[in-house]
Structure 1
């Protein structure tokens, strides 16, 4: 039976969606059907299509009681909206359906696992959210909540751990047909930990181990964990809250963390070997991955930063967008990311320039647009002294632009959107240390109306940022202090 709460959400989104024009959205980044979107949920491949659910409040373009929005795609780039999948309509989840994941049952039905939220009165005017893990089963459109929810609650967490910070289950089926999941939690020291659970049937879950403990190294609470095998190692992705910066690797606030190491499945223990950021730009959080049918590991994230939600007016009909889906690989102990290969089929009208000397500002014929895939190599001009700075500006007109600038002597790449049209004093720039040999750097810059994603050195690093500059600002220009030499290949995207 569909609840009244879910019926209302479905009716509302169907009507409201019609008021948003195609040109008012990105072309190939998923946005909410209407209203608010945050974390990707239940990223999965089911019945021949990719399914992506998302944290969703249909009624306003700001955070509210969370639902699960739902979209499907055959190529990860062109999405079709399905009706809202879950609504906060039970006693144990009436204050929100938080993040979670999806798997397939042996009988072919889709299994969803999510965090149910219930506000509990503490004292005076203080309420706290009790978080439990719950299941729902469905056919890819309609889902029924498990009658014995919640399946994990405060009785299933280690002693001293918080029942108020116990969320975001990421579930997978193991080789033997049983299930496992990781959940973010906060231990007694107030820092983060990732808990591991196992289930024979996907419904009855039991605690296995504390997979990883933060010990106050990377931020505090660890949200939205994901855990998978990649190129012979195991990778844990998680999003720590309240980070302190560490050089140019980790920045203040909510960040993304990748731990690479070895996993002892029998004991449920993980041995970390390397750590790094997942995205070095301004807007990227809560990534989730799926194993594609061809074996690729594909990741998508919320292309937004909690501290910068004021960049867009709540009067707008939608807020929040997903990143480009990215193929993951490990190389030299490092996580590499590239746009999914399906993306190359969207390239049209190639324009190419080689060996262009840039000193001061240079514009090139045919290099403009807001839906663009541009490959750019910059290097010193032969026989010239190393340039001081190189920059590319885009989404540009006489008033606005967003820029990417590189200082080869410090090996620092910076994304800066302070002139993008925002009227808020939020985070507008972020810097990253990049690998460069003698001032040479390789960039792939992808624009889609309201965002930029920069893949550095064939995916060694990525920098993502949202920008809501008016669409008429479609200029692209290059600048060098000193003389730089560039190769440019630019495609329009359809």
Structure 2
């Protein structure tokens, strides 16, 4: 039995053992999941591939899991698409992307070689090279017999093959381009670009973005696309070496600018954070069925307590987010249909609060939207997963124009977001699920994600204020499980 067959048989025989999976955030049937890969719209369905290890709830040999959907709530799980069964990907089929060509779906991924599987890293033994697999039906994939297609021969001097990964492919005017993350000889992160006319033969084109030496960053999971007349480059940031682990957070950034594909020059104009929480990483975008730009990311729990073993799974994706540029900033709005899966429970106008608590019984999952003006509010608090005195707390400080949150779950400390509010009407949207809260501030001008797998969390949502405030509208929809 080969590795692909073994993985699919294991999933079939054990997937019913998982428990406590989220209601409307994508999670694996069983086992570990991290980065979204190959996010694409193919033959009328959205396809999502993902870094996957079905046999345990911890990271190990990376496969590519696979599922498809029409609405991002109901998913059809498909057979595992890739397993690490070749000499060039013996220690993992790492992250990559998908693109359609001549009706076939092509996957481009990183073949990872590391005899120690990262647990005792020796860079002299680590190599990452880019590989191709293709499919006529979008389900069964064949690896290209001349893999890898980008390796030492194509990688210029000045870059390290030990950290050279995460190809994101796009097509512009009949030419294919691939952006890749790499570590340079200064041991810092860089985004480089290759080009091809057929997806199989690739040549180095240019370096389009470099991390500053003093920022001590390694860059991962690049993405490049066009939206609202601008080019946008995404990448995830991590410490470039273990010595910076305590001072550099794992975050995801965007840079708005202009990409000259012919010259291979990206001119940055504005940099920002995609997510202000500490549990969002490695997002990937695709063009949607209506030509909108959609994004989905991994809601991770790195360096934190694992889910209970009996859950049988570890890993969730964010909700899909529609990307637009408003007033020079990248905005994100949840892109799911409320009508089919959520039911209105509460709808109140001009809700006054003073030294009181307003409770909503959520059954553990739902959508809360609050409207308020800066003139009628000072400070208030929203609590999720509340049970007795434990909860996840969102502190809305209108007076000082900031939001902070902390939790009795997950041990993440206090996270603060500054410059949150407009001068007039403001909105906060919360998507709460069994293990997560996603917050969208003012139509997605800023977004923050919180994740925790703690058992026995409560189901109550509470809104409270010590001083007199007015919420011009309180709207809650429960999820129809």
Check the 8 A contact 2:307/2:454 in 1, yes or no. Answer: no
Of residues 229, 234, 242, the one that matches 1:232 is 229
Structure 2 CA distance for aligned equivalents of residues 408 and 216 of structure 1: 37
Aligned-pair CA distance for 1:323: 0.1
Corresponding position of 1:165:
163
Secondary structure of residue in 1 paired with 2:464: strand
Corresponding position of 1:369:
363
Of residues 261, 282, 297, the one that matches 1:265 is 261
Structure 2 CA distance for aligned equivalents of residues 296 and 342 of structure 1: 15
Secondary structure of residue in 2 paired with 1:324: coil
2:331 is the alignment partner of 1:325: no
Q: How does 1:71-90 map to 2 (within 5 A)?
A: 71-90=67-86
Corresponding position of 2:172:
174
Corresponding position of 1:8:
6
Of residues 66, 88, 111, the one that matches 2:62 is 66
Aligned-pair CA distance for 1:186: 1.0
| More divergent stretch after superposition (328-337 vs 426-435) | 426-435
Check the 8 A contact 2:301/2:451 in 1, yes or no. Answer: no
Of residues 312, 317, 329, the one that matches 1:334 is 329
Corresponding position of 1:49:
45
Check the 8 A contact 2:420/2:446 in 1, yes or no. Answer: no
Aligned-pair CA distance for 1:150: 0.5
Structure 2 CA distance for aligned equivalents of residues 444 and 350 of structure 1: 15
Corresponding position of 1:448:
433
2:409 is the alignment partner of 1:412: no
Secondary structure of residue in 1 paired with 2:184: coil
**CA deviations over 1:328-384 (Å, ceiling 9, x no partner):** 0001110000011534542213421111221223224x55332111111234675xx
Indicate the RMSD between aligned Cα atoms, in angstroms: 2.1
Structure 2 CA distance for aligned equivalents of residues 96 and 74 of structure 1: 29
Corresponding position of 2:390:
400
Aligned-pair CA distance for 1:313: 3.2
Secondary structure of residue in 1 paired with 2:390: coil
Secondary structure of residue in 2 paired with 1:482: coil
**CA deviations over 1:127-166 (Å, ceiling 9, x no partner):** 3321000000112111111100111112222312110010
Structure 2 CA distance for aligned equivalents of residues 66 and 472 of structure 1: 31
Q: How does 1:89-128 map to 2 (within 5 A)?
A: 89-106=85-102, 108-119=103-114, 127-128=122-123
Corresponding position of 2:25:
29
Corresponding position of 2:446:
461
| More divergent stretch after superposition (206-215 vs 467-476) | 467-476
TM-score (norm 2): 0.92
Corresponding position of 1:153:
151
Query: CA distance change for structure 1 residues 374 and 222 in 2, over 3 Å: closer, same or farther?
Result: same
Mark the runs of 5 or more structure 2 residues left unpaired by the alignment: 242-246
**CA deviations over 1:236-269 (Å, ceiling 9, x no partner):** 000011289xxxxxx9421101000011111011
Check the 8 A contact 2:382/2:462 in 1, yes or no. Answer: yes
Secondary structure of residue in 1 paired with 2:153: helix
Structure 2 CA distance for aligned equivalents of residues 89 and 352 of structure 1: 54
Check the 8 A contact 1:243/1:253 in 2, yes or no. Answer: no
2:290 is the alignment partner of 1:294: yes
Corresponding position of 2:138:
140
**CA deviations over 1:193-246 (Å, ceiling 9, x no partner):** 1111111111111111111111236551110000000100000000011289xx
